[in-house]
Structure formats: C-alpha cells, structure tokens
Structure 1
Amino acid sequence: MKITVNITDKSVYEKLVKMAEMVNIPVEKLVKRVIKGVALQGDFVVKEFLIKNPIRVRGKMERLEVAFSIAVEYGMRFYWFFLEPFLKRLDAFGHYYVDDMDVDYEGNVICFHFALLRGSPLRIHTFFLDLEGLSGGVSITTYTYLNEGTPKEILDRMDELSGSIEDEIINHEDFQALESIRLEVNKGEKMIIFEAYAEEHDDLPPIPELSNFIRKLLVKSGYQKWEKTYNAEKE
C-alpha cells in the first residue's frame, strides 16, 4: 500500500530534514519509520488520550496532535530523568528497552520488565526489577532462554555446574551487597534464572558482569558450542 504525504508547513519539513541528517538517512525513510512507529504504538495514545480520557481541545486533528505531543513529551522526560540514569547505573544502557511497566500503589512498588535489544551480545534476555519506591530496596530477576532442542545431558551438566557458578557470583566484589542470591537452571522450561535482592538501587550489580557468569555456565556445560552447531545446521 502506498501513502503520499504532503508537508505544507516549511518548519515541519525542515525539522524532519534535520532529524534525517542526524541519523544519516533520507528524509523519506525517516517519515516511513515515524509512520511505522505510530502504527505500532499509536493505538495506545488514541485509546488513552482521545477515547478513555479525551483531551479538552477543539477539533479532531488538534486533539490528535496534542495527544501525540503529550505522549512523546511525558515519555521522553521519564526516560531522561529516570530510565536512562538507571540503565547506565546497571551498565545496561543501549542493550535493553522497557518492555512493560506496572505500579502497585498500595504496596509502593514499581515493576519494570526490560528486554534485550536485537544485536546485543549479552546473555541475559530479559530481567525484571521490583522497586520499593524510588529509593528503597529492589528485587531483580533475570532470565536466559535456552533453545527448545537443548539435549538433556547438557541441561543436566548445566544444572550440576550452577551451584559452583552461584558461589562465584556470591564471592564476586560486584555482588557483595546483594542478598538472597539464587541461580537456577529450570530444565523443564529450559531457562536460567537469577534472583537477588538489594537494599539500595546502587547495590545492584552490572548486568554485563552477571551476563559473563551466565556465559561461563553456557560454555562450561557445552551449551554454547552445541548452540553454534545447531544454528549453523538450521541455516
């Protein structure tokens, strides 16, 4: 399907050109990506700002423009002031994005689900943070998903090795402030789970460091070598 867009506002066009130059792509491709982004996330903006809680602005087009402006403005401010510093503190900035978020107002807990960006070499695919307010304790749970075809003997070996890797994590200097550390290989669900609790946000370990321990488990168990061969055969 082809859609033709006529931009009559010169200042809008100039801003689009400037953005395209910043990322070094043609302005036409930039507009296509923007349209795709609106298609993927725009229904949420329409439902929340135009249907459930309609903005008190006259005119459908004006309300739509204000709705997207508010969504982008609020989202970017939350990102700048909270998410970016938090991800940098975990040394995970550029590797993960927020896949979901929830707030338990009664329990004063903010829950985040982070998912790995495509192309990142880290071995932790998703992790969850349950924050007790903005400056209290925090629980972390990470998941590394294994291939469905992983042989039983590799899973068994991984399970046997997990205890010694857990001990290494506990004794590592970056993990000294953590409590209730647990590393588990769930052979049924085919995943590696790490759990821990920190009394302060700053006590959380760097995600890449934790990923290194997971990678060590994958290598020593023979999984990483098997996975490489398995993927090559599929290609």
Structure 2
Amino acid sequence: MSGVLILSVSAGQLAGPSDEAGQQVARALLGQGLPVASRQVVDEDEAAVEAALRAGVGAYGLIVILGGGGGSAGEIVRRVLARVTGARLILNERLLATLEAGHARRERPMPRREERLALLPQGAVLWSMERGEPGWVLETERSAVVVLPAASPALADLLSRHLLPYAHARLGREGVLLRTLKTAGLAASDVEERIGPWLGAEGGVAVGCVPVDGEVWVRLSARA
C-alpha cells in the first residue's frame, strides 16, 4: 500500500473541463511532500463508485473521496463504503448535532427526512468544523478512507486542520520531496528535448514534463 488516491464523485465533472476540488487536494498534499499516486473522477453511480473503491482499498494507503456532502453523491459514498468495508450504517450523534445546529442558525427546524444524512459507517470519525460541512474518516485494515464535501467553502480549512496532519501521521514515512520548475514561452517538445537525458532515467530523482495552462512545468521528485 502506498500513496494517496483522490477520488472525485461527480457526474458534472465527467463532462466539465476540470476537477477543481481534486486539484486543490492534490496541490495541498504534494506541497507537503505527500505522495499522490492517482486522481480519478467517477460518475454518481453506485456501481462505478463501488468498482473504484474495491480497486482502491488495499492498493493505496489513503483514499480521499470528494463528493461526500449532503447531495446524492454523499449518500452513494456512504452506502458503498459501508458495503465495501462490511460496516453497518449507524446514526452519528455528533453529525446529527452539527446538522441541527446549521438549521438552527438559519432559524429553521431540520426536516426528519434529513436525519438520514447523519448516517455513517460504524467506526467513522467525524472531522467537524465550526461552520460548513464536516468531513469524516474510516480506517480499515488495508486503507484509510477520508470523505470530504467537494463543494464546501470549508474545504480549505478541512485540508489544513484535518487532512494534512492525518496524512502526515499515516504516510509520513512515504514522504516525497518535490520541486517544480515553471517555464514560459517554450513548447513542451522544446523542454523535453532539453531535458531529454533525464526523462525516464533511473536513479533517485524522477523527472517529468507537464504542460499546464500555457506553461510547461518540469517536476523533480525523490523519496524523502
């Protein structure tokens, strides 16, 4: 088991130009020298999410799922994760209190039907925030799975306060030193020609070339 899998669950992102939340999580992890092994986007479809999770659990030390809020993606993630890990869905009292407090701030009672949003797989630990949707983590024998609300304005705070410290504790020994050299005014083929002897070469430092928004980035990475 090594590295992090970032799994975005969203029908819109499959058709859209980008996965902004996934990029945000990847940048935060890589900026701390933590290894992001893969990023994937899957449809809000139970079979698709289950296939991705069954392939990921055990293959990655940490799985970060984006789309775990109160919408349909969040309900699918909870059901599928409970099924894949063999955990029962139970009422999480802390999450229920958080949902009720959010409605109280808006001076509205919480509908009974929304209590289902407080169901989490047994053993899940809530990552609460003062404002905004919380995240949560479920540890299994083979992987840890973190579920975060992709569209929440509190996502950045969830990353800094919860995900990054947790990822360091779980994957700290797998740290990666990363440096990025940004070039401008050059085509990717020109950059690749100049750094050709180092691309794919064996050794302690991996060199890659990535076109990004009109620039070409040269990435150097090495195991810490």
Quickly name the TM-score band, shorter chain normalised.
under 0.3
**Structure with the largest fraction of strand:** 2
Larger radius of gyration: 1
Report the TM-score when normalising by structure 2: 0.25
Relative contact order (alpha carbons < 8 A, sep ≥ 6): 1 or 2 greater?
2
**Structure with the largest fraction of helix:** 1
